[in-house]
Amino acid sequence: MPRLVVVVPCYNEEKVLPITSKMFLNELLDLIAKNKIREDSQILFVNDGSRDMTWNIIEDLSKQNQHFSGISQSRNRGHQNAVLAGLLESKDQCDITISIDCDGQDDIGAMEAMVDEYLSGSDIVYGVRDNRDTDTWFKRTTAQGFYKFLNKMGAEVVYNHADYRLVSSKVLQAFSEFKEVNLFLRGMFPLVGFKSTSVYYKRNERIAGESHYPLRKMVGLAVDGITSLSIKPIQIITNIGIFVSLLGFAGIIWAIVRGLMGVTVSGWASLVCIVCFLGGIQLLSLGVIGQYVGKTYMESKHRPRYIISKSTDNWKK
């Protein structure tokens, strides 16, 4: 039987954590009772620099039950870094990990199907939402457009999969060789390879608290995903540059011909339109290129992707 560590990133989750922690524990105990995982399996909460009582709750949970443990980052580093911290800190302590958000929107009961797929030979099992009926129209439309846009931009992602996945320790050992500072985990795991499959589940409403992924963060995540995993935007800029250059060359020939014919008319409207068009294209191109230059700059520093400041007494025992 494999030893399972459930990795749960937490940021300001004092309202929902007392509720979902019981749900996580019940699922873990059920899997143990069914002899699908080892009895010393654990639930690892990763505190991502919360400003509320989240860490205090995690410490209390670890004292109440041996299956609960926790680690805390030295400061807020973002959801992706929190998930990464939990996975890499667990890779030598378990046979499989399952990462899942703390808010209860992902179906906790799907863990059993994930473990079954692992026992059948899969090293990565993606949790995929089969519907978004509980989302608003705007949230559902933007989220689905997010995945389609990422795939068109060259980022290899599993449609409607977030960060709910089972990963074997073998995959984590290979994944630890990926040293990127700019993280987009749902696009990085498909690059590792190994046998993978998907488990489908219904997405629920958030049990308590507020969402930490508004539209602004969704857009930022899309930009990070594209620029971290694909150079297609640079290729698009190159194609636009070639097209505009050809138009400009044709315009020069047209202007020379009209000049030789003596029918040129001075005017500012056409000049302003051309200048604004070319100026907009140039600024947009510089912005996209700047994203890549900035990410290259951050990668070159080789800063640590996470720093663990403290952990509960029962972690890694």
pLDDT for 130-189, tens place per residue? Answer: 876 666 666 667 666 777 777 776 667 777 777 889 999 999 998 888 888 777 787 788
Q: What pLDDT, on the 0 to 100 scale, is given for residue 248?
A: 66
Which residue has better confidence, 206 or 109?
Answer: 109
Phi, psi dihedrals of residue 99, rounded to the nearest 5°: -95, 135
Is residue 8 pLDDT above 60, yes or no? Answer: yes
Which residue has better confidence, 190 or 5?
Answer: 5
Phi, psi dihedrals of residue 100, rounded to the nearest 5°: -155, 145
Least confident of 65-69, 153-157, 204-208, 242-246: 204-208
Is residue 82 pLDDT above 60, yes or no? Answer: yes
Is residue 251 pLDDT above 70, yes or no? Answer: no
Question: pLDDT digits over 284-303, tens only?
Answer: 777 777 777 776 766 676 77
Q: What pLDDT, on the 0 to 100 scale, is given for residue 298?
A: 66
Q: What pLDDT, on the 0 to 100 scale, is given for residue 240?
A: 75
- Superfamily of domain covering 4-229+303-311: Spore Coat Polysaccharide Biosynthesis Protein SpsA; Chain A (3.90.550.10)
Least confident of 8-17, 40-49, 118-127, 259-268: 259-268
Q: What pLDDT, on the 0 to 100 scale, is given for residue 123?
A: 92
β-sheet bridge partners, residue 107: none
Is residue 268 pLDDT above 60, yes or no? Answer: no
> pLDDT averaged over the chain?
80
CA–CA distance, 98 with 111 (Å, rounded to integer):
8
